[in-house]
């Protein structure tokens, strides 16, 4: 009996090891277990992460005064309490208008691992991406001059920038965006899936491991790979037309490619697809199988994959809502009748 038990344990360990190898051969990579390795992986050498920058970036991320209306912050659409998204089928921004292309807000969690930013991949990194929504008319609608005037009018912000960058820092719009990006680079959510790929064989249940294998065998990892389980540009609708393609006018980039969304914390980021037309994860899995892989996934296969995807729910960094510094007489005022 003892020998049988030992054999079963060894067999389970070998199966786990084999699946880890299979996953890595399919292009899947874990968030490193070592904190220093994560910091090295997520920091931009041209804009190194420091505690002072990250704390200041968090304040700016939550500050609605950076918007033209004084009501919309980065956290409005990328709500850190809601999986880093907003739960809307189309992002709602300036004057409470929906995105004109009916695009949903991608999660900001783990966006640091994306190869490109935005649904059309037009930004190469978070520093560049952070500049877009602040200025975009349908989002925060704020000119660069407005952002600079707000931040420079508040002594506490000026002091925080000097602490983060040195006494001679010039607080420009670009510097504000860079600082928000530093905070966003800390929004990494390691999960039990990462523990499994990092060698902890029992981190995933047998059902979750079966789901991972189905995920790999069916070809899902072809697009949802690397650390982000997404984040690269891929053709959309390879094997069939998306059933809600008529909602919004988004067609991808100039080559028709679409940035693959991350699957990390995917249980928290419904509704799904670029135009937010699919409400449930199981329906999203089936639709992806049909239009991307050319397969009709059975209910059992869909359930297996969904079970695995639930294991991607990661541990969120602890974020205390910042107390923002008071405005001054020099801070731009919002005219609600002429906005």
Kindly report the three-state secondary structure assignment for every residue of 245-277. CCCCCCCCCCCCEEECCCCCCHHHCCCECCCCC
Q: What is the pLDDT of residues 186-209, one digit of tens each?
A: 999 999 999 999 999 999 999 999
What range defines the domain where residue 57 resides?
A: 43-184
Interval 237-262: pLDDT, tens: 999 999 999 999 999 999 999 999 99
Q: Is residue 315 part of a domain?
A: no
pLDDT band for position 10 (50/70/90)?
very low
Give the per-residue pLDDT at 16: 57
Residue 334: the pLDDT is 86
CA-CA distance, 247 to 243, in Å (whole number)?
Answer: 9
Q: Is residue 128 part of a domain?
A: yes
Q: Is 138 found in the same domain as 99?
A: yes
Of all residues in the chain, the percent with pLDDT exceeding 90 is 93
Residue 214 · residue 305 · CB < 8 Å: yes
**Phi and psi torsions of 259, nearest 5°:** -70, 125
Which are the catalytic amino acids? Answer: 139
Q: Which of 95, 101, 93 is nearest to 276 (CA)?
A: 101
Cβ–Cβ under 8 Å, residues 98 and 90: yes
Per-residue model confidence as pLDDT tens digits over 68-95: 999 999 999 999 999 999 999 999 999 9
Structural domain includes residue 141: yes
208 and 146, same structural domain? no
Assess if residue 14 is contained within a domain.
no
Q: Write down the pTM of the prediction.
A: 0.92
Same domain, 123 and 222: no
Q: How far is CA 87 from CA 81, 212, 230, in A?
A: 11, 26, 20
Q: Domains in the chain: how many in total?
A: 2
Question: Roughly how many angstroms between the first and final C-alpha of the chain, as a whole number?
Answer: 78
CATH code of the domain covering residue 146 = 1.10.760.10
Among the candidates 184, 212, 229, a domain finishes at 184
Q: What is the mean pLDDT of residues 106-117?
A: 97
Integer Cα distance of 265 and 268 in angstroms: 6
Tell me: do 223 and 175 sit in the same domain. no
Q: Mark whether 218 and 255 lie in a shared domain.
A: yes
Residue 263 reports pLDDT greater than 50:
yes
């Amino acid at each position: 009996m003892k020998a049988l038990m030992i054999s079963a344990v060894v067999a389970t360990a070998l199966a786990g090891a084999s699946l880890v190898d299979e996953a890595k051969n399919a292009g899947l990579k874990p968030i490193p277990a070592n904190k220093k390795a994560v910091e090295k992986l997520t920091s931009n050498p041209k804009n190194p992460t420091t505690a002072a920058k990250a704390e200041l970036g968090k304040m700016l991320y939550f500050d609605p005064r950076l918007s033209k209306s004084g009501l919309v912050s980065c956290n409005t659409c990328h709500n850190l309490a809601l999986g880093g998204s907003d739960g809307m089928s189309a992002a709602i921004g300036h004057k409470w208008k929906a995105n004109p292309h009916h695009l949903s807000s991608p999660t900001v969690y783990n966006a640091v691992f994306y190869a490109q930013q935005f649904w059309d991949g037009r930004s190469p990194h978070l520093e560049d991406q952070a500049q877009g929504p602040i200025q975009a008319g349908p989002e925060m609608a704020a000119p660069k001059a407005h952002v600079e005037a707000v931040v420079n009018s508040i002594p506490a912000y000026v002091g925080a920038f000097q602490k983060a960058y040195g006494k001679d820092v010039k607080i420009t719009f670009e510097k504000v965006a860079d600082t928000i990006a530093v905070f966003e680079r800390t929004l990494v959510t390691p999960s039990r899936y990462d523990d499994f790929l990092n060698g902890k064989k029992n981190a995933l249940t047998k059902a979750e491991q079966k789901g991972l294998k189905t995920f790999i065998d069916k070809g899902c990892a072809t697009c949802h790979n690397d650390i982000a389980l997404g984040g690269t540009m891929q053709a959309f609708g390879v094997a069939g037309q998306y059933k809600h393609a008529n909602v919004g006018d988004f067609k991808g980039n100039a080559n028709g490619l679409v940035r693959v969304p991350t699957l990390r914390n995917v249980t928290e980021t419904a509704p799904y697809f670029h135009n937010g037309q699919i409400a449930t994860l199981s329906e999203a899995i089936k639709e992806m199988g049909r239009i991307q892989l050319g397969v009709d996934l059975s209910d059992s296969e869909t359930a297996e994959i969904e079970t695995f995807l639930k294991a991607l729910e990661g541990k969120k960094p602890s974020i205390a809502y910042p107390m923002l510094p008071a405005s001054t007489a020099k801070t731009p005022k919002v005219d609600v009748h002429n906005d």
